[in-house]
Amino acid sequence: MANSKFEYVKHFEQPDNLLPNTWVVVRIDGRGFTKFATKYAFEKPNDKRALDLMNAAARAVLADCQDITIAYGISDEYSFVFHKSTALFERRASKLVSTVVSTFTAYYIYLWSTYFPDTPLTTPLPSFDGRAVCYPSVQNLRDYMSWRQVDCHINNLYNTTFWALIQLGGTRAADKNEILFSRFSINYNNEPEMYKKGSVVFRDYELVEPGTHNVAQEIEGIVEPVQQSKTQTEKDKKRRSKARIVVEHLDIVGDDFWDRRPWLLSNTP
Ligand code: DGT
Ligand code: MG
Ligand code: MG
Ligand code: MG
Ligand code: MG
């Protein structure tokens, strides 16, 4: 087909391919959620419905995209980790970010009524921004995840304290001790894990006992399988696509979570 005289405009499109062989984190964040939370009367400091909705939307994103290894969410944000080997959209940042943002937003709106059955969604409608960052090593990625979870802890401790104090302000002196005791520092440990630790979304296989070699590792190519035939590869792919996507509220700063799930950060996808 002959080129039209207009075709030169395609040269204005700039490449934005992300660095190869690096873990790509796409972090999305609710736009103006301070106002949004007020408008829809989110409970303070944590609204279980709102957080469950975020988790459900994140889960849908993982189901939609096999190349996402794990995701971590707190407040109005979610970080999606693409395996370092991903070749999705030729690793073009704008395509990866816009796809994650729009898929997440679509599900957030689609699932709204499930989590807020008595609160119709009108305007303002929820929207999210997004960015992509590359992390060259597993340590860098682990530190990124730790940074977000520590942030979750600091913010939650602060917010929980803050709202307890607000509540104390409007209370008779006689009630203060009771409130402090029942709702505050002593019982901070009893706060739901989702509020204290945030949410981790990942594909679940069997947990790995230290020193053993199991199917999960084989699927992920950590342990070289005996004569991997093409049909076996296909089977593994299928198995992977059928793996349960779970939402947990676990510590991701320490090693235990990662040691027990070696497929999450393994070299091979
Ligand atoms: P941005 O991200 O620059 O467009 O502005 P915001 O307003 O989204 O600010 P951000 O993302 O730094 O902070 C998240 C806001 O969302 C924060 O004001 C608290 C609110 N938020 C998130 N989760 C909850 C919740 O469960 N309950 C309540 N009441 N508010 C929440
Ligand atoms: Mg923001
Ligand atoms: Mg926000
Ligand atoms: Mg935020
Ligand atoms: Mg297209």
CATH architecture of 16-205+243-259: 2-Layer Sandwich (3.30)
Q: What is the mean pLDDT of the chain?
A: 88
Query: What average pLDDT score do residues 41-52 get?
Result: 97
C-alpha–C-alpha distance, residues 196 and 179, integer Å: 20
Instruction: Check residue 215 and give its pLDDT.
Output: 47
Query: What average pLDDT score do residues 95-107 get?
Result: 98
CA–chain centroid gap for 220, Å, is 21
Q: With bands split at pLDDT 50, 70 and 90, how would you rate the model's confidence at 80?
A: very high
């049909």: which residue's tokens? 231
- The number of the ligand 1 atom at minimal distance from the alpha carbon of 31 is 4
Among 45-54, 69-78, 109-118, 239-248, which is the least confidently predicted range? Answer: 239-248
Instruction: Check residue 223 and give its pLDDT.
Output: 46
Query: What average pLDDT score do residues 11-33 get?
Result: 98
Q: 27 pLDDT exceeds 90?
A: yes
Q: Give residue 123's identity as a one-letter amino acid code.
A: T
- For residue 25, the CA-to-ligand 3 centroid distance in Å is 17
Pocket of ligand 1 (CB under 6 A): 29-34, 37, 42-47, 50-51, 75-76
Tell me the domain boundaries of the chain: 16-205+243-259, 212-241
State which of 44, 76, 108, 196 you would mutate to test the pocket of ligand 1, scoring each by most atoms of that ligand within 8 A of its C-beta. Answer: 76
- The number of the ligand 1 atom at minimal distance from the alpha carbon of 51 is 26
Instruction: Check residue 243 and give its pLDDT.
Output: 87
Instruction: Check residue 177 and give its pLDDT.
Output: 61
The closest alpha carbon to 141, from 18, 252, 263, belongs to 252
C-alpha–C-alpha distance, residues 38 and 202, integer Å: 31
Q: 236 pLDDT exceeds 80?
A: no
Taking only the tens place, the pLDDT of each residue in 249-262 is 999 999 999 999 99
